[in-house]
Structure 1
């Protein structure tokens, strides 16, 4: 076991498309727990092996609530949100239970026909406008936005505003601090307006259900918690899927044998989505440190009480000890216990919805456009920067 006394600068370098920095593999072999210094905040430990990352995310001795009031390690100047992401059970459980019912596997499956209909309509319209087309604008953005709008009860006509405001949630340097505060304030004010409408006219959507839960059981949910929760659901409920659909399609089109595999056998789509969740390192860096509440041995190192630990999901999902040939895209992988949606109490509450949307998106593209290809050379694609997540600005395609 090797450890360095001097903290490494982290992230290790600028995000290179969807490529995972090779230093992660080196660290998994020789230094699975290493000291890092992010652009902002205190030094932290970085866990790179699957077993350690999963342990940090799931063991109650590693706390998110302990980050409150600390100079949390982060890639952006603002302190991380103090909402659900900075809570531990039982406070976190209290809020999560209120929204988890909307995202159960059974509830999500009832939405599948409607989401398929939306996807088909969008692709039919894209085809009617002729090629080439920007898949981000024509398909990847409106699909998750329409779904989350229908689920929550948010007017789709307002999508351009709240999609723009949602960038504040995933921005590191793409927005100024003033813009981030303005956008988050606008998002919360917007959601507050929708909440006020539900008190005049009851609805059966998720906003209506949350308002009733708040007004009938005030001890369970404060007004501020409810608005923050709903704003977070609106933003997170579409932002990452908007990004992942083009990421997945980019990987498939730059691995044409895998695309051809899906065209030949669409039954592989669910397994393909799970493999792409493992393979694509969505985050540009590990985030949301967990603080040790007592001395704990991790990865052969003693982590002292009060130390923050970051877990790299991208590195964990490429761990050679868990996944055979981890740097290859393999839809026939027998075992795929990836943690692309996280793990533990903060496992993505919308994971089932995201899975379903991604499955439908890929399946619909394969059905409508089996000859889909990039409309530009791969080096000419433009990638977002200054964000917590990796993603394409646009994805020109032809068929």
Structure 2
């Protein structure tokens, strides 16, 4: 139940926020009695939607990711990915690589970026104020996360114009254009490889140089491919994924003037509001990647059997009324369980703390400096990008 005196704002008040899912419900049930869906790859998967069940799977390391990242494997993607990416690794390989980066991507580790985040926001706000027809997406949001990431990782800002069109394709390409997706993916992959091997320059105080110099901290030492796998996730996710969340978060607030006014009156609620927006806003049409059960697991609705393909639907779990009363209400005063948007367990998002830092700082500053911000267009007519992984508006015309 919402505790705020502001009238409730729900997901239904935000046009186009939700999209049709990438999976297709099936009428039949699994051998263990559970609902099933058909994945885009054609495979049948057990569909878990209750918070307690999804949480159980995400925190259970016996549910294997690597067994899905194979040719003709069960997937939402039209092709396979390099096995060195963290999201494709299982124990013990995942622990070895994740342990190498944990400190740098922790809340304390990313806090050193705060002056950079504040400075980039200040520059982008100044540019917004100078425009005759201000577009918050084009001028502020689109360049914001990738610019911060260039400082964090240490790649030259001038490189952004080269690799970013390719990284956007990797996340936003239509599923039926696999040759384009693969071509652009490998361009980004080889770009990151050049950063790791020294073929391209990097800043001496960025994470790339730090990881290369400290690779012996892992046992055995990390190879070039493993370092590329770690950094590729950051080059893509800390740009396109963060951008998608920021864009839809601001879009949602502008579509809910009562909620925006609450933030403008009290910018200090930004951290709680970010968590509530994270809980409710889908980045695209999928929430987690499939896993394969390597043992039987009892759930609230039936038995997951060894060998079952499992889609633990974090998006649905985040709207489970048993875990989140009035689940579709956007309530910055909400207390209780932690949402699953950024994963849980060993596959918890590596960039979670960075996402929170950027989103909270942006919303706080936006509310402080543009308290009367509103639409300069009908939000129902705005164009959207809709790709294999991500979905977001491509324009946010505003006035104040």
What's the TM-score, normalizing by structure 2?
0.87
Assess, with a 3 A threshold, how the Cα gap between structure 1 residues 35 and 202 changes in structure 2: closer, same or farther.
Answer: closer
Assess, with a 3 A threshold, how the Cα gap between structure 1 residues 240 and 145 changes in structure 2: closer, same or farther.
Answer: same
| More off after superposition, 198-207 vs 107-116 | 198-207
Which string of whole-angstrom CA distances, capped at 9 and with x for unpartnered residues, describes residues 47-82 of structure 1?
111111111111122111232436333333213442
Rounded to whole Å, the distance in 1 between the matches of 2:273 and 2:259 is: 9
RMSD of the TM alignment (CA)? 2.7
The number of residues matched between the two structures is 379
Q: Which residue of 1 aligns with 2:62?
A: 61
Query: Matches of residues 225-374 of structure 1 in structure 2 within 5 Å?
Result: 225-374=226-375
Matched position secondary structure for 1:318: coil
Q: Which residue of 1 aligns with 2:393?
A: 392
Q: Which residue of 2 aligns with 1:115?
A: 117
| More off after superposition, 188-197 vs 137-146 | 188-197
Rounded to whole Å, the distance in 2 between the matches of 1:200 and 1:329 is: 44
Matched position secondary structure for 1:353: helix
Rounded to whole Å, the distance in 2 between the matches of 1:213 and 1:170 is: 30
Assess, with a 3 A threshold, how the Cα gap between structure 1 residues 374 and 74 changes in structure 2: closer, same or farther.
Answer: farther
Q: Which residue of 2 aligns with 1:84?
A: 86
Assess, with a 3 A threshold, how the Cα gap between structure 1 residues 239 and 272 changes in structure 2: closer, same or farther.
Answer: same
Assess, with a 3 A threshold, how the Cα gap between structure 1 residues 279 and 287 changes in structure 2: closer, same or farther.
Answer: closer
Which string of whole-angstrom CA distances, capped at 9 and with x for unpartnered residues, describes residues 184-208 of structure 1?
2211222222223389988221111
Contact residue 33 and residue 299 of structure 1 kept, 8 A: no
Matched position secondary structure for 1:320: coil
Contact residue 35 and residue 46 of structure 1 kept, 8 A: yes
Shift in Å, 1:315: 0.9
Rounded to whole Å, the distance in 2 between the matches of 1:321 and 1:396 is: 38
Matched position secondary structure for 2:372: coil
Q: Which residue of 2 aligns with 1:106?
A: 108
Assess, with a 3 A threshold, how the Cα gap between structure 1 residues 155 and 213 changes in structure 2: closer, same or farther.
Answer: same
| More off after superposition, 235-244 vs 199-208 | 199-208
Rounded to whole Å, the distance in 2 between the matches of 1:95 and 1:159 is: 26
Matched position secondary structure for 1:158: helix
Contact residue 155 and residue 203 of structure 2 kept, 8 A: no
Shift in Å, 1:21: 6.2
| More off after superposition, 226-235 vs 173-182 | 173-182
Rounded to whole Å, the distance in 2 between the matches of 1:201 and 1:351 is: 24
Query: Matches of residues 151-166 of structure 1 in structure 2 within 5 Å?
Result: 151-166=152-167
Q: Does 1:137 align with 2:138?
A: yes
Assess, with a 3 A threshold, how the Cα gap between structure 1 residues 202 and 385 changes in structure 2: closer, same or farther.
Answer: closer
Shift in Å, 1:303: 1.7
Q: Which residue of 2 aligns with 1:7?
A: none
Assess, with a 3 A threshold, how the Cα gap between structure 1 residues 71 and 57 changes in structure 2: closer, same or farther.
Answer: farther
Matched position secondary structure for 1:384: strand
Unpaired runs of 5+ residues, structure 2, are: 1-14
Which string of whole-angstrom CA distances, capped at 9 and with x for unpartnered residues, describes residues 6-51 of structure 1?
xxxxxxxxxx8222669x9x99xx9994111122142101111111
Assess, with a 3 A threshold, how the Cα gap between structure 1 residues 165 and 41 changes in structure 2: closer, same or farther.
Answer: same
Q: Which residue of 1 aligns with 2:187?
A: 186
Q: Which residue of 1 aligns with 2:16?
A: 17
Assess, with a 3 A threshold, how the Cα gap between structure 1 residues 226 and 64 changes in structure 2: closer, same or farther.
Answer: same
Contact residue 69 and residue 80 of structure 2 kept, 8 A: no
Q: Which residue of 1 aligns with 2:40?
A: 39
Contact residue 37 and residue 73 of structure 1 kept, 8 A: no
Query: Matches of residues 218-229 of structure 1 in structure 2 within 5 Å?
Result: 219-229=220-230
Rounded to whole Å, the distance in 1 between the matches of 2:203 and 2:267 is: 41
Assess, with a 3 A threshold, how the Cα gap between structure 1 residues 354 and 175 changes in structure 2: closer, same or farther.
Answer: farther
Contact residue 33 and residue 48 of structure 1 kept, 8 A: no
Rounded to whole Å, the distance in 2 between the matches of 1:199 and 1:161 is: 13
What's the TM-score, normalizing by structure 1?
0.88
Matched position secondary structure for 1:46: strand
| More off after superposition, 255-264 vs 163-172 | 163-172
Rounded to whole Å, the distance in 1 between the matches of 2:306 and 2:191 is: 41
Contact residue 110 and residue 354 of structure 2 kept, 8 A: yes
Assess, with a 3 A threshold, how the Cα gap between structure 1 residues 20 and 392 changes in structure 2: closer, same or farther.
Answer: closer
Return the match for 1:95 from 87, 90, 97. 97
